[in-house]
Structure 1
Amino acid sequence: MDTRNNPWLKLSILILCLTLKTHLSHGGDTISGNETLSGDQTLVSAGGKFVLGFFKPGNSSYYYIGMWYKKVSERTVVWVANRDTPVTDNRSSQLKILDGNLVLVNESQVPVWSTNLTSANSTSLEAVLLDQGNFVLRVTGAVSNETRWQSFDHPTHTWLPGAKLGLDKRTKTPQLLTSWKNTDDPANGLFSLELDPDGTSQYLILWNRSKQYWTSGAWNGQIFSLVPEMRLNYIYNFSFYSDANESYFTYSVYEESTISRFIMDVSGQVKQLTWLESSRQWNLFWSQPRTQCEVYDFCGPFGVCNDDNTNDFCKCLTGFTPSSQNDWNLKDRSAGCKRNTPLQCESSSLSQQKDGFSSQHSMRLPENPQTVNAGSRSACESACFNNCSCTAYAFDSGCSIWIDGLMNLQQLPDGDSNGKTFYLKLAASEFPNSSSDKGKVIRIGVGSALAVVAILGLVWFIIWRRHRSVGTGKTVEGSLVAFGYRDLQNATKNFSEKLGGGGFGSVFKGRLPDSSFIAVKKLESISQGEKQFRSEVSTIGTIQHVNLVRLRGFCSEGTKKLLVYDYMPNGSLDAHLFHEKDSEVLDWKKRYQIALGTARGLTYLHEKCRDCIVHCDIKPENILLDAEFCPKVADFGLAKLIGRDFSRVLTTMRGTRGYLAPEWISGVAITAKADVYSYGMMLFEFISGRRNSEASEDGKVKFFPTLASSVLTEGDDILILLDQRLERNADPEELIRLCRVACWCIQDEESQRPSMGQVVQILEGVLDVNPPPIPRTLQVFVDNQEQIIFFTESSSSSGQSSKPRSNTSAASSQTKSTVSSSSISEK
């Protein structure tokens, strides 16, 4: 049969050829010059770490070309090609190499995204997805210097290990990390992170590429000056490079199995997260800015930000509702809020009702005020009332008015000295019973009468309160007292004398009518309901020990949750260890007894309570001292009370660098041994009288546990470790014992650490302890102290290192000693 002139056969062959040219094997890592990617086809990097293909975010109806982790069960996109130009049909859209570029064409075969190489040529090219998460366009069979384009040069909202984030000095063009618009839309959002275009070595976060609201501070060769979270540990290696053409930072992860990412979040915060496979979730290590309301205009026009409302940081002002409820639900508050009712001057209604003003108390005043010459509040109000564009005014030693949208509003806590009052213009219908002027007159008369009655009642109430004991509030289980919020407000003089603060809240000094002093903690991040909160507090209130701070009572009124403790006249331990000018220097005997008392308190929490209580935040700030310098562990039980969602708590704590155990990073379940690690880190500070991590005059960071471990191992004079202010006045045997306990407590493996009960016995002299091995982390520090790595605010270790753990073979191969009969023996 002659097939040369058979048209059907020719057509079949043509169709077959076209099919072969556009077919891409599912799961390969490369698109060659004659292949396309479409539909459900994906690229998978050679090591199986990353996937690239079409995806639909959330409930979106659009498709995007993106990259995500293959080994993470929750799809997490790290790069998007066409973030501002989605397609509607992934099967007829194609990603392919065309005219020397990598191009995405939509269902109409119109290019919607391209690598935009101006020097494109006909050289054979291929697009390859690499195991680092880098998507590259290169010459076929190319080595690194023949790469024409790479996604690492064009990040979206995620900065992956190994990628650069820097500045082209020739063009002053920075690489940007830009947030998604919302959780369902990867389009460019309002928040971006960039290296300072002016050439300084600091990162900036900008709102709408115009308003800077956060800076890292300049790079000093080791850390960013305003990011104390950057300390030495064995997880991240952070480095900086600069020459005449470019400046950039990059980071790597020492442990290859660690899945970590750095993102510019829709919240307007930069965040460092690590995947915990055990809990199948991303664990937040730290975020900047530290609080949500530090993000500029996060809640949009007429939206109010409140850091105390952790369920939803944003709400609308009175008389307003979200401009887009759908965007609001997707955490995009940029459109802010809109009026429920137009103002009279904006309305065509013939109604004679007049607009009014609603007072907004304890607020951060809106951005961009205009100054008006008015000598009184009434004159200021008139100036705003007569200007149809005026939306609010404030009178505070001068008149300020605001035109159109009110931006960057924040609700501040009662008693905050920065809180101001402004007056918001609202339509008359927003005020109750505003039907007529006659009604208004009646209301004024009634209101005046009620005011007189209220004043008389207030005078009687003040007299009555003088004879009333606040401490006689309703007693609940045990000896706990249920205080009223107003009682505690009066006792603390409206929370005016702040004693300290941390991740769980701020503490204020108070005095009850019986002249006894109290410490009142205003809790943050509480999500429990009334019944659950009371139950948990009652449980904590039953725990009594001489080395635990006594809980006297609590307050629970709506969102106001407070705990009332005994007041400790000698304050917290950190003031005596680190602030030599303001406090008495603790002699060695006091330090040793404080170490022993603290261990006894923790032993009670871990071993003597019905349920083991893990403190989760052992540090000098949480060890309080009574009049006789007896130590009292504070904030115990708050981890349980706050709940096990530690990510927010840890990112808002202050001064907690260097106390968290390695298991917080590895993602395994947290046990009492995490407290043991923190206690060990604290013991080093008992000895030295300074923070474990301390910058010297030459700018290098000194890590005291490394020095202590080295002195113990080499048998040097142990007294060289002692706080210089003690002038070598210490019992050498006790000092050696304390150093050994500290080194055992900070072993990398939980099984190698002693229990707190064993620690007590060692410090009491009942048990002896053998010299400990140098922990792997400290061995890394000993080997080399030139690199700085990224870590969390509350979880960062202190010190320096340059070698990844895989290179510390000496430390890894040493024989593991366990805290058992071979290491601890009874005297």
Structure 2
Amino acid sequence: METRDALWFILYVFFLIFFQPSMAIDTISLNDSISGDKTIVSSKENFKLGFFTPGKSSSSSSKYYIGIWYNKISVQTVVWVANRDTPISDPSVSFLKFQNGNLVLLNESRFPVWSTNISSKPPFGSLQATIQDDGNFVLKDGSITNSSKPLWQSFDFPTDTWLPGSKLGRNEITKQTQHLTSWKNPEDPGSGHFSLELDPNGTSAYLIMWNRTREYWSSGPWVANMFSLVPEMRLNYIYNFSFVETDTESYFTYSMYNSSVISRFVMDVSGQAKQFTWLESSKNWNLFWGQPRQQCEVYALCGAFGRCIENTSPICSCVEGFEPNSNLEWDLKEYSGGCRRKTKLKCENPVSNGDRDRFLLMPYMKLPDLSESVPVGNGGDCESSCLHNCSCVAYSYQNGQCATWSGDLLDLRQLSQNDPSARPLYLKLAASEFSSRKKNTGVIIGVAVGAAVGLVIVLAVLTFILLRRRRIVGKGKTVEGSLVAFEYRDLLNATKNFSHKLGGGGFGSVFKGSLSDSTIVAVKKLESVSQGEKQFRTEVSTIGTIQHVNLIRLRGFCSEGSKKLLVYDYMPNGSLDSHIFHNQNPNNVLEWKTRYQIALGTARGLAYLHEKCRECIVHCDIKPENILLDDQFCPKVADFGLAKLFGREFSRVLTTMRGTRGYLAPEWISGVAITAKADVFSYGMMLFEFVSGRRNSEQSEDGTIKFFPSVVGKVITEEGDILGLLDPKLQGNADVKEVTKICRVACWCIQDEEVQRPSMSNIVQILEGVLEVNKPPLPRSLLAFSDSQEHLVFFTESSSSSSSNQNSKTNSSTPSSQTKSSTSTTNS
């Protein structure tokens, strides 16, 4: 009996262990709780919920939060936080559990610090909370089978992240809005200063706000399936956007066309709204889109008396005479706390016997808001008015207008000298902040005389060294950072009187040269340059600051009267056109993998010019002749002689048509504003040539003209033989998926409307495999070209001297056919 009882007992324990119902892995039931390192994971293991500590110092942090993060991503990325402003200190004795019909978080003192706060309670025992695979944490009544209406869901209470499928909108009855609010800093999920929400005044625009009181960016209203100030939304082959308006609510939502792409929309600690996609190959989040484009456009980013300078690190600094209120916060890139004075003003410390306060000139500033206008006669009166007003901290006087500021100065921005909105600002500081003058004139005179004598000796030695160096080396002198200002005679010698010509185009010829230290360079001799000395140096210095692996490096320049030359690194493999158009050696064919990498590298270089420079640079002449190849066939975008600098709003108009026919976007002809999308069009036309290995427009032996993009468009839309488009020299050796991708991207690039073309950063992500590209529509222009062969003649011209055969074909065309082609392009 005893043995039988023991056997029954073992079987009973076995049943309890293996067959007793337990808490589902993705659900918290009524008698369950989350504590310590216990977590729940969604059914497909996409998301996890539990306690976490944010930031790099999480191992030593004493602040814990209940949150949701991606489960399959190696970098912990939190998308929702319950108790963001009320952290707990010990998760082992804190609990997320049901209490009185709500899901609550109890801290170590058993005090509730967060709750779902639902008013309608289901029957006792039927509550359950589940983490779903879309990242939504839902509270439901378990007694109702297949209930789709949750009692509460985290999607209704987003923190800083907006996930696909969730809504961001406004209750039209209560007028309450859902909004994203940034973290304080990367290690503190507490509510920051920046938020994104649907306009509470009732429009369909989304606004980015500072402290929910000051708007500094707007999406514009929803018009024709896009927000008016976000034209890139029309590129809907990545995201499926929709805006819904009913009597009870208005909201915006989005989903992914490719569900395998992991994406999130974040109100970032930088004050910018950003869209990220996960790049598994690099184990990193890749920035897909962000606004405002310039970080310094974020209102009050640097706090009181903090100055924002674009493209610097750190981007914020305290103005002269001030220091950070909290160095710890500034180390975490949380600048909102601003700066404090190092020395009190005299009017704040009237018992001081020091000199009276003075003003520091801060040139080229974006003036802060909330100024007070003071009627004065001149600048001296404006200064005096501020000096004798103890509450006045700064003034500005220009064009007879005097403005003064009291209290904290917010939104200080350093602008460039050429910015039309730049103004001088005079900041009031204590006299001790300025260099004090010694009253002992004897000492001053002695120091001055000694310094003068020493300076003369030093200058004499330096002059001797420089003159000797110039005679021996002949490399010129370094100016504008790392650029070298060459003398014309140095380059004349380096190029052996410009005897070795590498190539040329409409704006100048390129010659091979060797500097005295044996460095091989390419010297571009510009022709018909109309810029004056100052303008030329300004543009060259701008180009010289650009550094990217896929952009040609500018070493220096020469500007002596009408002689204008640019000195670049020498590229041993020449330009791309020589490899895909003129290479007759069957043993030296540019393989498909190499072509694909050249296409990707070129896209990266253009994306840098368009989006990463301080001001957007539009190249305006993208073609194979301007893609150079180094010894490893790494592409370098070259020839910035046609480039113009644009503001990030892309709203300026180029008044003169530039570039090379055959690669020009339709907007060049129609006279509308030229933006970075003109480069996208040219890049797309060049991609067709990557595939075919020949010019896009060729005349056959019977005199008919074949326009390759229209052939590609037909194959793409009808899903024909994609490898049949390939360069015959490749003998079909190419990845069909990559060829299809290149052809689809090319067709998207040459869409008639520029808003339908992708950005270069989109193209980079597509070629990298991060994003998918859908089948494009056939541009109207390609349909027109298919209907009339005459219209194709317009695209056979090229400004490159290396395309002599192409030019000869164009010159033989009739004037009437050229006129028709121009008209057709304009109409398109």
Q: TM-score range by the shorter chain?
A: 0.5 to 0.7
Does the CA contact (< 8 Å) of 1:473 and 1:484 recur in 2?
A: no
Question: Aligned ranges for residues 86-485 of structure 1 at < 5 Å?
Answer: 86-123=87-124, 124-140=126-142, 142-309=145-312, 311-347=313-349, 349-397=351-399, 398-434=401-437, 438=439, 482-484=478-480
Listed one character per residue, the Cα deviations across residues 176-206 of structure 1 (whole Å, up to 9, x for unaligned) are 0000111111111110000112222110001
Question: Aligned ranges for residues 501-512 of structure 1 at < 5 Å?
Answer: 511=531
Secondary structure, aligned partner of 2:165? coil
- CA distance in structure 2 between the aligned counterparts of 1:427 and 1:35, rounded to whole angstroms: 63
Q: CA deviation at 1:105?
A: 1.0
Listed one character per residue, the Cα deviations across residues 661-715 of structure 1 (whole Å, up to 9, x for unaligned) are xxxxxxxxxxxxxxxxxxxxx99984873599999xxxxxxx999x99xxxxxxx
Amino acid at match of 2:176: T
- CA distance in structure 2 between the aligned counterparts of 1:190 and 1:315, rounded to whole angstroms: 18
**Is 1:28 aligned with 2:29?**
no
Secondary structure, aligned partner of 1:357? strand
Does the CA contact (< 8 Å) of 2:122 and 2:141 recur in 1?
A: no
Secondary structure, aligned partner of 1:429? helix
Partner of residue 63, structure 1: 64
Amino acid at match of 1:32: S
The alpha-carbon distance between structure 1 residues 635 and 694, as it changes in their structure 2 partners (threshold 3 A), is farther
Deviates more, 1:232-241 or 1:294-303: 232-241
Does the CA contact (< 8 Å) of 1:654 and 1:794 recur in 2?
A: no
Does the CA contact (< 8 Å) of 2:141 and 2:147 recur in 1?
A: no
Amino acid at match of 2:174: T
Q: CA deviation at 1:732?
A: 8.2
Secondary structure, aligned partner of 1:214? strand
The counterpart of 2:542, out of the listed 505, 519, 522, is 522
Partner of residue 689, structure 1: 666
Structure 1 unaligned spans of 5+: 1-19, 458-471, 492-498, 500-508, 542-549, 556-562, 568-593, 643-650, 657-681, 696-702, 709-720, 723-727, 799-803, 809-827
- CA distance in structure 2 between the aligned counterparts of 1:473 and 1:94, rounded to whole angstroms: 75
Amino acid at match of 1:362: Y
- CA distance in structure 2 between the aligned counterparts of 1:121 and 1:430, rounded to whole angstroms: 68
Deviates more, 1:599-608 or 1:477-486: 599-608
Amino acid at match of 1:218: P
Q: Which has the higher contact order (CA 8 A, sep 6+)?
A: 1
Listed one character per residue, the Cα deviations across residues 792-818 of structure 1 (whole Å, up to 9, x for unaligned) are 8543479xxxxx98999xxxxxxxxxx
**Is 1:38 aligned with 2:38?**
no
Secondary structure, aligned partner of 2:328? helix
TM-score, normalising length: structure 2 = 0.62
Partner of residue 614, structure 1: 601
Secondary structure, aligned partner of 1:286? strand
Structure 2 unaligned spans of 5+: 1-16, 457-467, 488-506, 508-528, 569-574, 584-588, 611-616, 638-645, 652-658, 673-679, 686-695, 765-770, 776-828
Listed one character per residue, the Cα deviations across residues 462-514 of structure 1 (whole Å, up to 9, x for unaligned) are xxxxxxxxxx997999988744479999x9xxxxxxx9xxxxxxxxx885769
Q: CA deviation at 1:350?
A: 3.0
Does the CA contact (< 8 Å) of 2:137 and 2:153 recur in 1?
A: yes
The alpha-carbon distance between structure 1 residues 39 and 776, as it changes in their structure 2 partners (threshold 3 A), is same
The alpha-carbon distance between structure 1 residues 518 and 389, as it changes in their structure 2 partners (threshold 3 A), is closer
Does the CA contact (< 8 Å) of 2:741 and 2:773 recur in 1?
A: no
Listed one character per residue, the Cα deviations across residues 214-249 of structure 1 (whole Å, up to 9, x for unaligned) are 000111122211112213243211111111111111
The alpha-carbon distance between structure 1 residues 476 and 300, as it changes in their structure 2 partners (threshold 3 A), is farther
Partner of residue 459, structure 2: none
Q: CA deviation at 1:349?
A: 4.5
Amino acid at match of 2:540: V
Does the CA contact (< 8 Å) of 1:96 and 1:102 recur in 2?
A: yes
The alpha-carbon distance between structure 1 residues 25 and 70, as it changes in their structure 2 partners (threshold 3 A), is farther
Q: CA deviation at 1:259?
A: 1.1
The alpha-carbon distance between structure 1 residues 632 and 257, as it changes in their structure 2 partners (threshold 3 A), is closer
Q: CA deviation at 1:49?
A: 0.3
Partner of residue 736, structure 1: 707
Secondary structure, aligned partner of 1:174? coil
- CA distance in structure 2 between the aligned counterparts of 1:280 and 1:485, rounded to whole angstroms: 35
- CA distance in structure 1 between the aligned counterparts of 2:406 and 2:436, rounded to whole angstroms: 28
The alpha-carbon distance between structure 1 residues 408 and 624, as it changes in their structure 2 partners (threshold 3 A), is closer
- CA distance in structure 2 between the aligned counterparts of 1:171 and 1:82, rounded to whole angstroms: 25
Does the CA contact (< 8 Å) of 2:265 and 2:276 recur in 1?
A: yes
Amino acid at match of 1:795: S
Partner of residue 13, structure 1: none
Question: Aligned ranges for residues 642-791 of structure 1 at < 5 Å?
Answer: 686=663, 689-690=666-667, 733-740=704-711
- CA distance in structure 2 between the aligned counterparts of 1:238 and 1:692, rounded to whole angstroms: 32
Q: CA deviation at 1:429?
A: 1.3
How many correspondences in the alignment?
A: 624
Does the CA contact (< 8 Å) of 2:293 and 2:648 recur in 1?
A: no
The alpha-carbon distance between structure 1 residues 204 and 39, as it changes in their structure 2 partners (threshold 3 A), is same
Amino acid at match of 2:194: F
Deviates more, 1:224-233 or 1:251-260: 224-233
Q: CA deviation at 1:523?
A: 5.4
Amino acid at match of 2:213: S
Secondary structure, aligned partner of 1:414? coil
Secondary structure, aligned partner of 2:310? coil
Secondary structure, aligned partner of 2:92? coil
Secondary structure, aligned partner of 2:148? helix
The alpha-carbon distance between structure 1 residues 234 and 738, as it changes in their structure 2 partners (threshold 3 A), is closer
Secondary structure, aligned partner of 2:234? coil
Partner of residue 78, structure 1: 79
Q: CA deviation at 1:55?
A: 0.7
- CA distance in structure 2 between the aligned counterparts of 1:160 and 1:488, rounded to whole angstroms: 50
Does the CA contact (< 8 Å) of 2:296 and 2:310 recur in 1?
A: yes
- CA distance in structure 2 between the aligned counterparts of 1:77 and 1:144, rounded to whole angstroms: 28
